[in-house]
Every structure is written in structure tokens, then in C-alpha cells.
Amino acid sequence: MGALLIPPLLAGCGGSGEGLDQNGRPDDGNGGGSGSTLTPDLQSIQEHVFTPICSVCHAGAAAPLGFRLDAGSAFAMLVNAPSVEVPSLRRVSPGNPDASYLIQKLEGHAAVGGQMPLGQAPLPQATINIIRQWISNGAAPAPASAVDALTRLAAVVPTDNELLTRDAPVPLIAASGALELSSINSMNLTVERSASGEFDADTTRVQGATLDIRSQDPTVFAVDLPASERVPGNYRLTLRGTGPAPVLDRSGRPIHDFTLQYTIEDLP
């Protein structure tokens, strides 16, 4: 994965208790919390760990540092995503759990900060081992819930019309399938800025946008801008599946048009 021309870590999490034992750990069905009900796939890990334990804090616009672990965000936020505390490490490095910052934080031997979930009982090693196995197996995404005729894009962060500070995470976009990356270019990817928010009447096209490809199938990428261009204002990011040069999926089909609007505030 890498940049194509055209990356916050776990904080304390609580949970609702659903699917957990009395210690707040994934229940093995016998009250032991050994994690035996888990299987080494993202769908199971999401159901038993990320959703009940982590996403209480790590979801929505209030997620610490924008790091979200709800079902719609976890894959994009984890796999091949640089950690904030140690940017040289990926939160999840497919095939290499020892080099995955998520595992280091869960096991309590990361170079920075405390063991996660912060302020809660550590996950049993048996549970962590299942997460390790998912990573060792390649950290595949959860299966799609439905097959769409055209590939759709969705914003992981920010949400539409969200307010950001200048040091907030760059926009992270996830596709419902695999895109033909060579089809993304300056004709169909645009980032515009407007002081007033009226893009048709007051628009400046932002130059120098780059894609940081986090995953190819499904395609997940961050859209980064030069520091000089990340100034306060209203932004509109567009990828087009229509027009003379549409973004295509791996089968050569055009995607659904995608537009994301957000605002960078005049705050550090």
C-alpha cells in the first residue's frame, strides 16, 4: 500500500455488558471469559470485542482523536492505518500481529501509553490470541452484507458536514468493493474550498491532493492535502463515477458519485 498522487490510538473504553462475563470480558458460555466464542474473523471480533467494549467511546464525531471502532469504521481505521502514538507502526499490519500496534496496546507492552482498554480489566490472552490469528491470516474485512450493482463509497471520518480542527485526521474513505486505482485522477477526484460554504458561487480548487491506499480489496484510502492547503474553510471532496473519465471498480464498472462536505475550524 502507498501514496498515489492526485493517519489516533485507543483510549479508555467501557461497554454495555452485552455478550460479556461479569468482568466485562467476552463470555465463553461458561462464565470464564476465555474468548472461546470468538472466531478469528473481523465480524466475530467486532461483535464480541470492538462493539461492546471499544465503540462505546470510539464511535461518532466524539471519538478520541477521530479513532472509531464501530462496525462501519473498524476495518478502515485499523488495517494499514498508521498509529498516532508511534507513526512508524500500523495499527494492524496484515500477517504480522507482533508489529501491529493494536496487539501491543492490548497486551500492554507498547512503547507509549497504557494497556487497553484503559482503566478496564485487560482482555484475556485467549481473546487477544484470536485477534492475533485474524491478523496473521491477513486481517480480512467482514463480509459485505449485500451486493450492490455499483460500488459505493462511504466516509469513515469525517462524517458529512462535520467540524474538524486543522490537526484532525485526514478524510478516510472506504469502498464497498475493490476500485481500479489507476482510474482515479484529477478529472474525477476534486477537493474544493469555500469561505462561505456556497460552492457554486465561491470555490477554490485545492491542489496537491494525494491518496494513501490502506487496503485494495475492499479499497480504503485517505485523502491528504498539503499543509499549506489545510486552512480554515468549508471543503467539498468529490469522486465521480459519471462523466468522461469515471472512477471504476475492478470489473470496469463506474462507481456511484461520492461527495463529502466538512469544515476545518480556525483552531489548532
CATH number assigned to the domain comprising residue 255: 2.60.40.1220
Q: Give per-residue pLDDT as tens, 111-123.
A: 888 888 878 889 9
Q: Give per-residue pLDDT as tens, 223-248.
A: 999 988 888 999 999 999 999 999 99
Q: Give per-residue pLDDT as tens, 45-97.
A: 999 999 999 888 877 777 776 788 998 889 999 999 999 889 999 999 999 99
Q: Verify that 166 and 222 share a domain, yes or no.
A: yes
DSSP the chain: --EEE------------TTB-TTSSB--SSS----TT--SSHHHHIIIIIIIIITTTSSSTTSGGG---STTTHHHHHBTPBPSSSTTSBSB-TT-GGGBHHHHHHHT--SSS--SSTTSPPPPHHHHHHHHHHHHTT-PPPPPSS--SS--EEEEESPTTEEE-TTSPPPEEEESS-B-GGG--TTTEEEEEESSS-TTTS-EEPP--EEEEEEETTEEEEEE--GGG--SEEEEEEE-SSSSS--BBTTSPBPPPEEEEEEE-S--
The whole domain housing 245 covers 153-264
Give the mean model confidence (pLDDT) for residues 185-202.
Answer: 89
Q: Verify that 179 and 137 share a domain, yes or no.
A: no
148 domain residue, yes or no:
no
Q: Verify that 187 and 242 share a domain, yes or no.
A: yes
93 domain residue, yes or no:
yes
129 domain residue, yes or no:
yes
pTM over 0.85: no
Q: Give per-residue pLDDT as tens, 151-191.
A: 889 999 898 998 887 777 789 999 999 999 999 998 999 99
**Domain boundary residue among 143, 166, 186?**
143
